[in-house]
Copies of this chain bind each other. A is one copy, B any other.
Amino acid sequence: MHKIQIKTSRRSETVDITPLLKAYLKDVKAGPGLLTVYCPHTTAGIAVNENADPDVQTDMVSFLNRLIPQGGTRDAGFRHAEGNSDAHIKSTLVNPSQTFIVEDGQLQLGQWQGVLFMEFDGPRSREIWLKFVTA
């Protein structure tokens, strides 16, 4: 298992980690197989989405913040005393990991896709864990 360190700079943001994944696959001389990208934190997640127009990621983050406000909804608050229940819920809805297809050592992504670390309770130092399994 390989560990990547990143630093986030805001409470909610997306970090494009695609270049880090490509560099890892090159380093280990990966052939065909599957790459699992895993977030060991409970207030962040891994997503795949467009990394061409930055407005897409801005819209995603803004929408999630309106859907799941930090202080809870008008009808009901949260019980967890740390004040970050919203971030835990966002983590589960986005998902803590993604698994990718690898061919000839190349990460297989669609034309507009990038792999995004989604921070919901930053800024923090974060880890991402990678594991490649040969087909």
CB neighbours (8 Å) of A93 from chain B are 93-94
Residues 58-88 of chain A, each 1 if its beta carbon lies under 8 Å from chain B, else 0: 1110111011100001011011111001001
A interface residues, tally (CB under 8 Å): 62
Instruction: Give chain B residues whose Cβ lies under 8 Å from the Cβ of A127.
Output: 110
Residues of B within 8 A of A68 (CB): 63
A103 to B41, CA, bound (A): 18
A residues neighboring B (CB under 8 Å):
1, 32-34, 36, 38-42, 47-50, 53, 55-56, 58-60, 62-64, 66-68, 73, 75-76, 78-82, 85, 88-89, 91-101, 103, 108-113, 127, 129, 131-135
